[in-house]
Amino acid sequence: MLWTGDIEHFVRLAEHNAREIHRARAKQVVTTCPECYLTLKVEYPRYLGGLDFEVVHLSQLLAAKVADGEIKFRRSAKKVTYHDPCRLGRFTGICDEPRTIINAIPSVELVEMTRSRIGAICCGTQAWVNCGTVNKQIQSERLREASATGAEVLLTFCPKCQIHFKCAIHDQRLGEELRIEIEDVTSFAARVLTG
For 128-165, the pLDDT digits (tens) are 556 666 677 777 888 889 989 999 999 999 888 888 88
What average pLDDT score do residues 44-69 get? 95
The CA distance from 117 to 115, in Å, is 7
The CA distance from 55 to 37, in Å, is 7
Per domain, the residue ranges of the chain are 2-61, 71-190
**Looking at residue 33, what is its pLDDT?**
92
**Looking at residue 16, what is its pLDDT?**
97
**Looking at residue 132, what is its pLDDT?**
66
Q: Higher model confidence: residue 86 or residue 185?
A: 185
For 29-44, the pLDDT digits (tens) are 999 999 999 999 999 9
3-state secondary structure the chain: CHHHCCHHHHHHHHHHHHHHHHHCCCCEEEECCHHHHHHHHHHHHHHHCCCCCEEEEHHHHHHHHHHCCCCCECCCCCEEEEECCCCCCCCCCCCHHHHHHHHCCCCCEECCCCCCHHHCCCCCCCCCCCCCHHHHHHHHHHHHHHHHCCCCEEEECCHHHHHHHHHHHCCHHHCHHHCCEEEEHHHHHHCCECC
Phi-psi region of 124 (alpha: psi -120 to 50; beta: other; left: phi over 0): left
Does pLDDT of 177 surpass 90? no
**Looking at residue 158, what is its pLDDT?**
87
The proportion of the chain whose per-residue pLDDT surpasses 70, expressed as a percent, equals 90
Q: Where residue 92 falls among pLDDT bands split at 50, 70, 90?
A: very high
What is the topology classification, in CATH, of domain 71-190?
Rossmann fold (3.40.50)
User: What separation in angstroms does the CA of 45 have from each of 5, 15, 28, 48, 191?
Assistant: 18, 11, 15, 5, 36
